[in-house]
Structure 1
Amino acid sequence: MSKQPIGIFDSGVGGTSIWKEIHTLLPNENTIYLADSFNAPYGQKGKETIINLSIKNTEYLINKGCKLIVVACNTATTNAIDLLRNTYNVPFIGIEPAIKPAALQTKSNAIGILATKGTLSSALFSKTSGMFASNINVIEQVGEGIVELIENGKLQSEEMKTLLKTYLKSMIDAHIDYLVLGCTHYPYLISLLTKLLPSHVKIIDSGEAVARQTKAILEKNDLLNTETSNSKNHFYTNGDPRIMQSLLNSKFLVEYLDF
């Protein structure tokens, strides 16, 4: 089982930011990445639809023999991961906004959360926010339109810059000192966000923590691949493969998959 791949799925290309962290920490692990770009973004969809899409993605990866599945999508995690864990006999790693470290470290008592509607309106987000940030000014912002621009190859576009300026204004006015990224697409915006935010604002995403948790769960279940031969990494999308290819090292091939 240890040689079997880690499965990773997202509503699109954004979860490759999580894949990069996992691959950096666990270079021996074989991986299969599944991007459901045709249905992106999940954040605007209803809970039942998100669950059904998550089941479809999970079953594809299980049929490919994956030993562990990373739900590299905040919206899918917050809406579907409990059901997935109760239904399938493989470990699942989920993603949720890193509110806790931001809330514990803020000096201005104000933090910003940029996330999808599906994440911000979920019960899991509400629970986590209430647990760690009840006495802090939390400025929540739905990043409507961001995922669509990234999925269409417009990461560095003027349209993206204009959108981000609009979304960040209320956060800057509230004197946030931490910005939490609540969607796996958003780490690809960090260079842009750094230019638009005051220099003291720290940006937090969940990628490194997810990679560490993946390693811990593999160790706990005796599933770490200890072989040092070259790992096999497969990338599939039902969208335009060129978009994902532009975010990856050219040595990794992205294949179109009609699923």
Structure 2
Amino acid sequence: MENNQPIGIFDSGIGGTSIWQEIHQLLPNEKTIYLADSINAPYGQKSKQEIIDLSCKNTEFLLNRDCKLIVVACNTATTNAIQELRAKYTIPFIGIEPAIKPAATNSKTQTIGILATKGTLNSELFHKATEMYQDTKIVEQVGHGLVQLIEGGQINSTEMEQLLHSYLQPMIEANIDYLVLGCSHYPYLIPQIKKILPAHIQIIDSGQAVARQTQKVLEEKVGFSSLKLPDPIFYSNTDPKVLSAILMDNYRIEKIDF
């Protein structure tokens, strides 16, 4: 089944580009349109209804650009809004949730850490996921301030290093052997996190799993593109310099009033 329409991807900013990169790597012939709603970042501090409203607005933007499926490349938007999106629109949606299952299943110490936004950790979907692993101790930590620093281009700042130390040290002391990154912005912090964590603690994010699920939905429901290496398009509603720096390539980025 052939379908040359683009894949739409949105996030509360630049973090979802970590998901985009996995999709682009696995499916290089697919045209992608990425929407960074950075002006409203972080979603994790907003109410459930605000997150639903923003997610619908982002969806409409991508539907107007003829997308064939939409990847919600934001943990907070997935855990708070994806059920409403699926009920309202007929297009397939792929969400991103903290990868609790592989961490809990493989943990030797039966203790795992989850670094996520307040919006994700407080969501009903997240609580349902953690309830399945009663035998595993889950150390939750809200990553206050991390998204703002990433959006501000401050990944390697002293402030970032201090925040990560304060969040990760209690997890290390609790004897975690897996750290789950529950926000699509956080994979950009992996080099910083690795400097703090002991070598035996494994870091898990959801990027590859989301890319594989995207491939599966294309295969079963939507259809693959026959285009050869089409150029992705990125939209941002704030200064695109940070987005450009994190992509480290000369991709087309359009500044929009949105």
TM-score with structure 1 length normalisation?
0.98
1:42 is the counterpart of 2:43: yes
Give the whole-Å Cα distance in 2 for the aligned partners of 1:202 and 1:79: 27
Q: What code does the residue aligned with 1:159 have?
A: E
1:19-58 mapped onto 2 (5 Å cutoff)? 19-58=20-59
Give the whole-Å Cα distance in 2 for the aligned partners of 1:249 and 1:192: 18
1:239 is the counterpart of 2:255: no
**Aligned position for 1:183:** 183
**Aligned position for 1:66:** 67
Instruction: Report the alpha carbon displacement of residue 89 of structure 1 after superposing the two structures with TM.
Output: 1.2
Give the whole-Å Cα distance in 2 for the aligned partners of 1:112 and 1:226: 41
**Structure 2 SS opposite 1:221:** helix
Q: In percent, how many aligned pairs have the same letter? A: 61
1:160 is the counterpart of 2:160: yes
Please say if residues 231 and 251 of structure 2, whose CA atoms lie closer than 8 Å, have aligned partners that are also in contact: no
Instruction: Report the alpha carbon displacement of residue 222 of structure 1 after superposing the two structures with TM.
Output: 4.2
Gaps of 5+ in 2: none
Please say if residues 68 and 222 of structure 2, whose CA atoms lie closer than 8 Å, have aligned partners that are also in contact: no
Q: What code does the residue aligned with 1:142 have?
A: V
1:50-199 mapped onto 2 (5 Å cutoff)? 50-131=51-132, 133-199=133-199
Give the whole-Å Cα distance in 1 for the aligned partners of 2:89 and 2:130: 28
Aligned-residue CA RMSD (Å): 0.9
Give the whole-Å Cα distance in 1 for the aligned partners of 2:183 and 2:239: 20
TM-score with structure 2 length normalisation?
0.98
Instruction: Report the alpha carbon displacement of residue 88 of structure 1 after superposing the two structures with TM.
Output: 0.7
Give the whole-Å Cα distance in 2 for the aligned partners of 1:137 and 1:191: 26
Instruction: Report the alpha carbon displacement of residue 232 of structure 1 after superposing the two structures with TM.
Output: 2.5
Question: May I ask how many residue pairs the two structures share in their alignment?
Answer: 257
Please say if residues 244 and 250 of structure 2, whose CA atoms lie closer than 8 Å, have aligned partners that are also in contact: no
**Structure 2 SS opposite 1:250:** coil
**Aligned position for 1:248:** 247
Give the whole-Å Cα distance in 2 for the aligned partners of 1:239 and 1:183: 20
**Structure 2 SS opposite 1:176:** coil
Residues 240/86 of structure 1: CA separation in 2 closer, same or farther (3 Å cut): same
Give the whole-Å Cα distance in 2 for the aligned partners of 1:213 and 1:240: 31
Please say if residues 112 and 139 of structure 2, whose CA atoms lie closer than 8 Å, have aligned partners that are also in contact: yes
Please say if residues 12 and 37 of structure 2, whose CA atoms lie closer than 8 Å, have aligned partners that are also in contact: yes
Give the whole-Å Cα distance in 2 for the aligned partners of 1:22 and 1:59: 21
Q: What code does the residue aligned with 1:91 have?
A: P
**Structure 1 SS opposite 2:246:** coil
Instruction: Report the alpha carbon displacement of residue 251 of structure 1 after superposing the two structures with TM.
Output: 2.2
**Aligned position for 2:229:** 230
Give the whole-Å Cα distance in 2 for the aligned partners of 1:257 and 1:202: 38
Give the whole-Å Cα distance in 1 for the aligned partners of 2:252 and 2:203: 30
Give the whole-Å Cα distance in 2 for the aligned partners of 1:90 and 1:153: 34
Give the 4+ runs in structure 1 shifted more than 2 A. Answer: none
**Structure 2 SS opposite 1:27:** coil
